[in-house]
């Protein structure tokens, strides 16, 4: 229990950030019209792929001969970034279709 408490105290700023970001996330999305739910879902999904930053950091801090870690982390990076790139590209494709309409 003490360890958990210590962790919270050591990461005080992080915890504050966590709380405010939750509020921010709610606030940013709460007014979105249903028209945009589909693109927003896919856009938010692309952002959730940010987990690949962890994979990059992990790969960079691994000894060059630790192949198990390197392979696992690169696979993590690979599948995670399909989520990121695919997500952004497809969201863009959807939103461009909305745009095209407004100009004409």
Partner 1 sequence: MEKVLFLLSAFLLVWGLRLQSDPASASKGNKLASVGMLLAIFSAIIMPLENSSSNLIWVIVPLFLSSVIGYFIAQKIKMTSMPQMVSIFNGLGGLSAVLLSFTEIYKWIALPDSYDITVVIVLISSLFIGSVAFTGSLLAFAKLDGYRWSEKLTLPFQHIVNIIFLSLIVGSSYLFVANPDISYLYLIIILSFIYGIFFVAPIGGADMPVVISLLNSFTGITAALTGIIFGNIVMLLGGILVGAAGTILTILMCNAMNRSLLNVIIGGFSSSGSSKENKEQGDINEISDSDFAVQLFYSNKVIIIPGYGLAVAQAQKLCKEIQETLEANDVEVKYAIHPVAGRMPGHMNVLLAEADVDYAKLIELEQANEEFKSTDLAVIIGANDVVNPDAIDDSSSPLFGMPILKVWESTSTVVLKRSMSAGYAGVQNPLFFKKNNKMYFGDAKESLQRLSSELKNL
Contacts of partner 1 in 52-91 (CB under 8 A) = 52-64, 68-70, 72-91
Q: Could you tell me if 69 and 58 are in contact, meaning their C-beta atoms sit under 8 angstroms apart?
A: yes
Least gap, CB of 68 to partner 1 (angstroms): 7
Contacts of partner 1 in 24-43 (CB under 8 A) = 24-26, 28-43
Least gap, CB of 46 to partner 1 (angstroms): 7
Task: Give yes or no for residue 16 binding partner 1 (CB under 8 A).
Answer: no
Q: Could you tell me if 67 and 78 are in contact, meaning their C-beta atoms sit under 8 angstroms apart?
A: no
Nearest to 80 by CA among 49, 55, 54, 57: 49
């Amino acid at each position: 229990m003490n360890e958990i408490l210590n962790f919270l105290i050591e990461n005080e700023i992080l915890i504050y950030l966590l709380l405010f970001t939750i509020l921010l996330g709610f606030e940013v999305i709460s007014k979105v019209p249903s028209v945009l739910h589909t693109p927003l879902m896919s856009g938010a999904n692309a952002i959730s792929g940010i987990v690949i930053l962890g994979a990059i950091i992990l790969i960079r801090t691994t000894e060059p001969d630790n192949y198990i870690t390197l392979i696992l982390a690169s696979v993590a990076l690979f599948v995670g970034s399909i989520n990121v790139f695919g997500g952004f590209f497809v969201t863009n494709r959807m939103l461009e279709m909305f745009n095209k309409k407004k100009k004409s």
